[in-house]
Structure 1
């Protein structure tokens, strides 16, 4: 089997990011570790992408053309990610059939579970196991239902830049593939990706997803709160937010900004903690071993310690490049300290090569 190169593309609220991986014989599970060939990111204008959905296709297409030009990707075939409040993920058990037949049957089986018309949804099934019971052989998995127009908007933006989306994948599953390796593949792990406006929580047991949730909050809400409290611009608020962090003592003249940060972060951390509690309540005796953080919002100073105190769980920062080789063309020096931003595009590339 020849080497295979795949490009994963993450269209985020503040930037578009893409990673090109090269897989040897055997793909991701082969003896040769995958190689990060190229990685790049380009900022998108404020408001061009809102809550994980493209609002201004031409602005995003312009950013994508710039990304391809400066990073020098040799292919225009990409794997796109999607994940926001309009993507529903639920556990589902159905009579066992070959996977292709399960997917074909979904429109007839899940209509009553959806808050949208079946015709308006794109449906998929991610198998996680099977069982034998009174009703015979059953397949267990995760139902994914995405509003058709939220996926279409991202696809059209990519196509507007001359790219060729080969597949659309769920960001949560990409996150899992990028990070559930090594010791984390054998533990119960909560992966928490804090983006600009969406925080994705994936709880996995031994590498198998058990709970996926998207929370409508992220780093941009913290920045906005500081900007409002101080009457300053977004770039100034972003810089001040990074200086103050969460959980640290501040001087009186910065107290208003610290309170604004604390208000938003407390709400987000409480939602994450409630997700952990919900999982524990539905999986007695199967507690979470560790929390792994990724995404730009996770770099807020003190955030990891704050989440650890609230959840009473150890928290660590993700490194999606662990176990990967890095080509010189990847410009590793520009990624150092920003590894967690690479998680989604790396995971998307992993998916199609699996």
Structure 2
């Protein structure tokens, strides 16, 4: 699939843009998701000739209107892929029923056990096709050493992973990012971000090759649907593109898309039914990220959705027992929350919610008549599990702050439940087994338990460090949730 442009090494001259975007091929949609593996043959030869050089070498003050009104009234709003759809949906590829106001704690069960057995039997008879692979040259090899790069609205995070059997976390760093460079997952100033990336990589002496970049916003979407009666690969490709063209709010020449066949079943009449995972992104969104990376001299070898990286960071691919239900990974960032639902092997559903830790800042700031940026320290001291003292606040103020945080969480939980309701309305959806929380805001004392009570399913705090072998150079005081996506981007399963 035509997807992304190869990135330039430190000594290369930028090629034409954006025309050369179509020179690239999506390599594969692998376990836990969809990765665009990029290859530039000239760079590949240089890397094989000089391995030593290879080795040497969240989220924003704009998140909500309340925050903008308090602090930055001049900030522009990024265009939203889902602007004409339900706000919580990333990309609506077919008509979505209105979920209404779901009652918290009433997530619908998945298919019954007899239905699951019937589907498993059908899959056993028909077989599940392997993921469609892109074109590969004879020299194409998976890089064993990767640097997962997550660019959020409030920070840059990078994790260097050595993939040799079990993944090993060699280095992991994060640094604050100037507000306004990245807003709602979109880059406002690629040149300034490129300079910030360059300083970040030089400061921490990170390799500039082998970079895998993560993307997540409401203009990048994932959708699962079914295609009936098509067996020829070329006809299937055309059918999926035709289906996408019918429902996308933009012309296909402005979008990049690819898909994988999740499973294939045979109906009683012999008709083949394929379950498709489709990934769609605005071409300009991808292009601006690559422009920033090129400005920093980074060689990007792959682009991945953050939802897929999140799943890799929290759990190794496995044949999950369908009776155990789906794994739901939830990463609460600065101004966005990424939701990813997995059956254990593949990501079946993902959404990005416009809600993050900054929403808690806004709620607290309203109670205390302060600016959201002024209450970050207060937020870090608040506990939802027990009464605690907060420096500079009276006991009455602490009580009001806790109530404000709880109300904000109520709104977040309703969006989460609505998203899970929508997932469970899809064909083949599993029941919800557990929810794993991560991200910086998830570390608030008592927050996982508070969300769990409202959602009504088991919730635990995820730890990406349990997924990797931790090297000796890793700082013990780094907040694990804030680097989960970066770690997942570096893991090669």
Does TM, normalized by the shorter one, top 0.5? yes
Larger Rg computed on CA atoms: 2
- TM-score, normalising length from structure 1? 0.86
Displacement after TM superposition at 1:51 (Å): 0.8
1:333 corresponding residue in structure 2 = 476
Partner of 1:18: 158
* Pair 1:135–1:10, CA change in 2 (3 A): farther
Cα distance in 2 between the residues matched to 1:50 and 1:233: 19
Q: In 2, distance between residues paired with 1:135 and 1:80?
A: 42
Alignment partner of 1:328: what SS? coil
Contact 2:148 2:212 in 1 (8 A): yes
Shift of 1:235: 4.3
* Offset at residue 184 of structure 1 (A): 9.4
Matches within 5 A, 1:135-154: 136-154=271-289
- Mapped partners of 1:155, 1:256: distance in 2: 44
**CA 1:154/1:2 → structure 2, altered by over 3 Å: closer, same or farther?**
closer
Q: Residue 208 of structure 2 contacts residue 299 of structure 2 at CA under 8 Å; is this kept in 1? A: no
In the alignment, structure 1 segments of 5+ residues that lack a partner are 25-31
8 Å CA contact 1:103, 1:123 repeated in 2? no
Tell me the matched-pair count: 341
Counting only pairs closer than 5 Å after superposition, residues 196-207 of structure 1 correspond to structure 2 as 196-207=334-345
Out of 276, 301, 320, the residue aligned to residue 445 of structure 2 is: 301
- Name the Cα RMSD after superposition: 2.7
Aligned equivalents of 1:303, 1:246: Cα separation in 2:
6
Q: Is the 8 A contact 2:143 2:210 kept in 1?
A: no
Q: 1:157 matched to which residue of 2?
A: 292
Superposed, 1:228-243 pairs within 5 Å as 228-243=366-381
Q: Does 1:125 align with 2:265?
A: no
Give secondary structure in 1 for the equivalent of 2:207. coil
**Alpha-carbon deviations, 1:251-294, whole Å to 9, x = none?**
21234433432332211111112223333454799421111011
CA contact (8 A) 1:175 1:343 kept: yes
Q: Which residue of 1 aligns with 2:185?
A: 52
| Structure 1 residue 71 corresponds to structure 2 residue 204 | yes
Taking a change above 3 Å as real, the CA distance of residues 141 and 282 of structure 1, as seen in their structure-2 partners, is closer
The 1:135–1:122 alpha-carbon spacing in structure 2 relative to 1, beyond 3 Å, is farther
After superposition, what is the alpha-carbon deviation per residue over 1:90-115, rounded to whole angstroms, capped at 9, x for unaligned?
Answer: 103343455x9866764334111222
Q: Do the aligned residues in 2 keep the contact of 1:42 with 1:66 (CA within 8 Å)?
A: no
Whether contact under 8 Å (2:158, 2:173) holds in the other structure is yes
Per-residue CA deviations over 1:97-137 (Å, capped at 9, x if unaligned) read 55x98667643341112222212211121332222235743
Q: 1:185: Cα distance to partner?
A: 4.9
**Secondary structure of the structure 2 residue equivalent to 1:115:** coil
Q: TM-score, normalised by structure 2?
A: 0.63
CA distance in 2: counterparts of 1:110 and 1:167, whole angstroms? 24
The offset of 1:147, in angstroms, is 1.6
Matched, 1:88 2:221: yes
Which stretch of the first structure deviates more once superposed, 257-266 or 312-321?
257-266
How many angstroms apart in 2 are the aligned matches of 1:265 and 1:107? Answer: 39
Work out the CA distance in 2 between the residues paired with 1:240 and 1:96. 58
Q: Is the 8 A contact 2:149 2:489 kept in 1?
A: yes
Out of 152, 167, 170, the residue aligned to residue 37 of structure 1 is 170
CA distance in 1, matches of 2:142, 2:340: 33
Hey, what's the Cα distance between the residues in 2 that align with 1:229 and 1:196?
Answer: 20
Aligned with 1:227 (options 358, 365, 379): 365
Larger fraction in strand: 1
Report the Cα distance in structure 2 between the residues aligned to 1:106 and 1:280, rounded to whole angstroms: 22
